[in-house]
Chain A
């Protein structure tokens, strides 16, 4: 099983909870023998999207910015499983995760298709049904932020070819073993094992 793991933790040491969740994700994938391409985004040279659409029109499928995002795109193109990790930031994602997601659109086509009554872009590569797990971390409980986060994950799933998606949020000082157990219960891992 191939997976791409985008770690949107802040720069080293600034968010121990997020780093612990990253370790739990790696343990969960390792226990299942998955082949994981992992990207620690905070330390990567990934510039902001220019909004030029060259990746759709001038160099279809490739971003014209020459930086480390190319490795992310190459890994994401054919991977069935996506795992994103982020501290929940105003009910959304960290800028570290988002800088890679902003430039993920080369794996989509420019054209429109209908998905659950809405307009979306089709995926450029098979498999056309992907699985997405988004892991969020928070120092304190914030029900409102967590609800917004889950809705955002649902929207992202629609935009990633109507992916089967789930969101897990760890709040407070959750021990590593509890994180591993919680992740193991996720359909993302459980169903892949069947």
Chain B
């Protein structure tokens, strides 16, 4: 153990099926291998539960490195995560000079292009600056749907760039160093050709709709004329 503590905070409502969780847990395991004490907490069970929320906020206070992993929602962070960050920032007002803490982020989206994640990465950087964390970088990737719901080691090589990037990132984060541009770029590499991802995604929607008996209703307009 190197005496440093990492807290993984996953802000996805999807629990065990969450890609954000899988990416975060993969990184967490690599950080543990490098001697960090690890802790993992999901945000959503703490929503509306004061005791759990207090535990989560206390864990944020105690960690040396906070890793926030989340899915992109409408170009941005999910609402509950913004609310949490606002609370964390409020708690940290006037605490300058206390033990140095660092922050890194992981964000993934279902679009094939990683560029969709840029505003969210920027928000995380600004949050860090405004609340006294040292920002070590944001690992972003598109095509999150391709890795959906599986442990990353079981993705059959689809997420190989992301796995390698997370492993490389662990080496920097464990030493409290900023993530280099090449690691961030590797994380953002496509998992497959864009045309193929889009084709499979459209096919996937249609197949799932067939299963639910809604294949002919996908384009329905329930609020037309409202």
Interface residues of chain A, those whose CB is within 8 Å of chain B, are 48-51, 56-62, 73-75, 77-78, 89-95, 98-99, 101-102, 104-105, 107, 109-112, 118-120, 124-125, 144-145, 148, 151-152, 155-156, 159
Contact = CB atoms under 8 A, between A and B. Distances in A.
Residue among A50, A51, A94 with the highest chain B CB neighbour number at 10 A:
A51
Nearest to A70: B223
Contact of A61 (B83, B116, B194, B223): B223
15 contacts: A48-B47, A49-B13, A51-B14, A60-B209, A61-B220, A61-B223, A62-B222, A77-B221, A102-B74, A118-B113, A119-B113, A125-B223, A151-B118, A151-B122, A155-B75
A132 to B, nearest CB: 12
A61 B222 contact: yes
Given A77-B223, A110-B218, A48 B80 contact: yes
Given A51-B12, A111-B202, 10 more contacts: A56-B218, A57-B212, A61-B222, A92-B82, A92-B119, A93-B76, A95-B79, A98-B78, A151-B119, A152-B75
Given A58-B214, A119-B111, A119-B113, A148 B122 contact: yes
A51 to B, nearest CB: 5
Contacts of A92: 76-77, 82, 119, 123
Contacts of B223: 61, 73-74, 77-78, 107, 125
B74 A74 contact: no
A149 to B, nearest CB: 9
Nearest to B76: A92
Contacts of B83: 95
A118 B202 contact: no
Nearest to B201: A112
A125 B75 CA distance: 21
A118 B111 contact: yes
A79 to B, nearest CB: 10
Given A56-B218, A120-B111, A78 B119 contact: no
A124 to B, nearest CB: 6
A59 B118 CA distance: 31
B84 to A, nearest CB: 9
B115 interface: yes
Contact of A98 (B44, B77, B113, B224): B77
B74 A101 contact: yes
A158 to B, nearest CB: 8
Contacts of B155: none
Contacts of A77: 221, 223-224, 226
B111 A90 contact: no
A148 B221 contact: no
Nearest to A100: B79
Contacts of A144: 126
A124 B122 contact: no
B226 A94 contact: no
